Structures are given as C-alpha cells and as structure tokens.
Structure 1
C-alpha cells in the first residue's frame, strides 16, 4: 500500500470515529433532553399538587377568618349592649375637662365615645410637644413668668375653672397648647390622658407637676388614664400620686371603669400591674353619685372664688 492509500485509510478511519462520536453525542443529547423533560414534568406535577393543597389551606384559613370576624362582631354587639345597660343606671351630670399630656397617642376615639354617650365635655386641652422646649425659649417672650411651673399652674386652673390668664392666651397663640372649648363653666372632673413611648417619657416634666397642682384643688375629681398599648405605664405613676386610674381606656371594660370613676367611684382599674381589678366590683348608686357631685361642686365654687380673686389681684 502506497503512501496515498494509507493516507486515505487513516482519513476513513478517522471519519468513522468522528461519525461515531457525533452519533454518541447526539444520542446522549436526545436521551438527556428526554430525561430533563421527564424530571421537569415530575416537578410540575409536584408543584401543581402543592398548589392544590395551598389553595385548600387558604380556603380553610379564609373560612376561619370569616368566623373570627363574626365572633368579633357579635362580641362588639354584646359589649355595646352591656355599656348601654350600664348607662341606664343614671344620667351622668358631671362636667369634664380632658387634658392630654401624651405626645405619642391620640385620644380622639375616647373623646368621641364620651360625647356620644352624653357626657358633657367643657374643654379639651392638648399639650404640644413644643411645650417641652418652653424653658429654652427667649425669656423676653414670656416676660417675668417662671417657666414651666407658671404655665402648668395656669393650665390646671384654666382646665378646672375656665379662667384664661394672659399666659394661657400666649401659650395658645404660640401653639404650645391646643384648646378645644366646647362649653364654659367649672369642670368638676379632670381626665388626665397620658402615656407615651419609651423615648418620650415626659411624666416628670409635665404630668407630675400638673398632678401636684390638681390635688391642691379641694374635692376635684382627677382621673389618670392611658391606652392599653402605652409603652410607659403612666397609670402606675398616677396611682403613686393618689389618683384614681384606668390603664385601658381604648377597651370597653376600661371605658366602663372611666365612666364609673366620673360618677364618683374610686380605684385603679385595667390590665397592668398597678390595677387592682379590670372593672369596679361595685357600682355607685344613683343617689350616691348625685350627692358626690353636689359635694364636689360646692367645694369647687369656694375654690373658684379663691382662684378668681387671685387672678384679679395680678397687675
């Protein structure tokens, strides 16, 4: 065999091996594709099965949610019935001022509730967050007033006796406090609405001094309240200063407790550690509530004359 024959022989053998290799590759590719398709189909079947199970679970949970909603709605109706039944014990003739010291939580729902059930609200006084910086303001802005003590004292006097000093007018004008006056006259009850986040625990800066002024007013009914979710338990502080308290006025039980305290009951109610019970165990009778209110108003008229004379004596 000459050189040319060997050359063609080698080329032929190489071509055969190349063809075999290509065939093997093509065959492997076809088999691999079938394998991948089979695996993919199996995964699709698993996913489809899981989706069916998830849909069943989702339908079950939606059904449970609907049942819970119905239970909540029924509980709400029961609570409203209990509140209405309680309110039939007698008309609440107290005149109330609400002083909101909390800079983190709103008491609009509570205010709406009290107005809806017919409790007379004379004034709503909101202490603004800017009030905390009042001591840093230019002294010329407030003249010779001692801040914040004079401001806090005048706020307490205004909240009870409706005596609006020049300092109160300045505080309103400069938006250190916000006032919503719904009616005139003396308030026999003050609801001090506090509670704040941990970052804004301002009890010692505002509430403590305010309570000290309130307790000096003879026979004034002062009630400390907060929301159940307040991070700082102001009601514990209020209780330590001798106030009646409710630490969950955002809940039905707390609102009943508040109404009962307005009627003249005593105690510390709610769900936190300072509370002695969730609601009062005994309700004040109609006649006892009337007598307690008459005594408060008689004492407050005497106090009013004292504070009015003091305000007139200021040059």
Structure 2
C-alpha cells in the first residue's frame, strides 16, 4: 500500500510540476513572440512615415519640375511653326485645349478639327452599307472595297482642294463624324490622334490602318499621336507605315516633341516602349538658349 501510494504521489507530483513548467515555457515564448511582433510593427510604422515623407517630397519636386518644363516649353515652341497649316483628325475623343494652345504659340494655323464620333459606321459592313449610297454600291463590290472608296471620299472632302462636301454632310447627319473649320483645303501637316479604349480596340486595325494608307496615298504628311493613358496603343501600326509618332500628346513633353516633328524632326517620341526617346535631339542649342 505504501509503495502504491508513493507511486501515485510521484505521478501526481510529476504531472503538476510538468504542467506548471510547460505553462511557463509557453507563456515565455508567447511574450517573446509578442515582443518581436511589436518591434516589427514599430519598425514598419517608422518606415511608413519615412516613405510618406519621401512621397510628399517627390510630389513637390515633380510639381516644381513640371512648372519649369512648362515655362521652358512655352519659350521653346514660341513661333516655331509660323504660318504652317495644320489639320487635326481625332479617331478617339481627346481634350484638345492644350494642343490647340501649343499650336497657337508655335504660330501654326489650325485649318480644321475632325472627330470620328461613330467609327463603326466606317468599318463595320452593316454601317458601310448605310453610308455613301452613291459610292461603289454596285453589285459585286466587297465591304473592303466599299470602305476604301468611302475613306478616299472622306479624305478628299476634308483635305483636297475644291472637293464636294456632300459626303461630309451625309456623314455628319448620320453622326459618324463632326467637323469644325475649313474643309476641302490641303494642310501642310495632319495630326492623327489615335489610341483606343477597350470598346474601340478593334478600330485600330479595322479603321486606323486603312485610313492611314489613304491619307498617305493622297500625299499628306501625317504625325501619329495618342494620349499617354490610352488603354490600347496604335503607335506600332503607325511605325509600320513610316509615320513619326508621339505617344504622350496629353503631356507637356509630348506637345514639345510634336512641335519638333511638325517642324521636320523624324522618329518616335514619348514615354512608352515603342518610343525611341522622350524628345527629338536639339539641332540648334544656341538658338534655344537665346530664346
């Protein structure tokens, strides 16, 4: 009996001591873990404060830089294109105020601005069947041939001297496009504003490329442009057809590059992977410095 009692007492004492020791170990590990987590939190909080301050500093420097670039660009573009006749053709709606202001400062004369308001009517077979009913609707004419002749009619009506405006009137009545300015006048250069949102992605190949070919066939000097935030870029298609491009025409540097291209510079400029440089190289640094 004494032996049995001793054994049970030993077992009980062992369990008691073991449980107490185990709880102490667990509590100690938990305290250490909480201490490490608290240290990491404190460190992350300090880094977050530092990053926020760096972000504020960068924003301030960015605004200052944009202000300087804007001031310099005003002097740079001033009277760079005196009397040059420029037309604008928008394939995608874009705010034009900054572009028009820059062209005005450069001394250019914007002869017309045209906006394609319903591009599907100019490439979708169903839309093509409704437009230009007096043009190539004979039996056996394919949709591609009909589009070709329709686009030729549009380009001629807009940019060829003495052309009939009947087709433009029909297209405006059908809400396919809107035109402001003087038509049937050949510009010295044409600014083509492309790029596309998700809903107009198909237009890049179905309309932009055929239209560009027609513009080139008519001997027009075309500059392919688009906003920096365009969801889908058309620059590579313009490049394939030998057209100089600016992929950030909504930004100050893009407007400066555009003025250079309109003045004779060649290449592909902007902020996207398809660009060769942000800006064309200066050809007369002394003149710019004097300005």
Give the aligned partner of residue 62 of structure 2.
Answer: 72
Query: How many residues are paired up?
Result: 261
RMSD of the alignment, in Å?
4.0
Separation in 1 of the partners of 2:228 and 2:194?
A: 11
Distance 1:131 1:232, change over 3 A: farther
Give the aligned partner of residue 298 of structure 1.
Answer: none
Give the aligned partner of residue 297 of structure 1.
Answer: none
CA contact (8 A) 1:226 1:235 kept: no
Separation in 2 of the partners of 1:15 and 1:167?
A: 114
TM-score, normalised with respect to structure 1? 0.64
Q: Give the structure with higher Rg (CA).
A: 1
SS of 1:99's equivalent in the other structure is: strand
How big is each residue's C-alpha offset from its partner over 1:238-265, in whole Å with a ceiling of 9 and x where there is no partner? 42xxx44434434433311212344x43
Give the aligned partner of residue 90 of structure 2.
Answer: 100
Q: Shift of the alpha carbon at 1:79?
A: 0.8
Distance 1:154 1:280, change over 3 A: farther
Give the aligned partner of residue 300 of structure 1.
Answer: none
Q: Shift of the alpha carbon at 1:75?
A: 1.6
Give the aligned partner of residue 214 of structure 1.
Answer: 215
Separation in 1 of the partners of 2:91 and 2:49?
A: 46
Distance 1:20 1:129, change over 3 A: farther
Instruction: Give the gaps of 5 or more residues in structure 1.
Output: 1-8, 284-315
Distance 1:277 1:267, change over 3 A: farther
TM-score, normalised with respect to structure 2? 0.69
Give the aligned partner of residue 266 of structure 2.
Answer: 267
Hey, which of these two has a bigger chunk of helix by percent? 1
Which deviates further from its counterpart, 63-72 or 16-25? 16-25
Give the aligned partner of residue 236 of structure 1.
Answer: 239
Distance 1:21 1:31, change over 3 A: same
Q: Shift of the alpha carbon at 1:116?
A: 3.3
Give the aligned partner of residue 101 of structure 2.
Answer: 116
Separation in 2 of the partners of 1:138 and 1:211?
A: 18
Distance 1:187 1:62, change over 3 A: farther
Which deviates further from its counterpart, 41-50 or 166-175? 166-175
Separation in 1 of the partners of 2:15 and 2:248?
A: 77
Give the aligned partner of residue 289 of structure 2.
Answer: none
SS of 2:26's equivalent in the other structure is: helix
Give the aligned partner of residue 130 of structure 1.
Answer: 120
Which deviates further from its counterpart, 54-63 or 126-135? 126-135
Give the aligned partner of residue 156 of structure 2.
Answer: 157
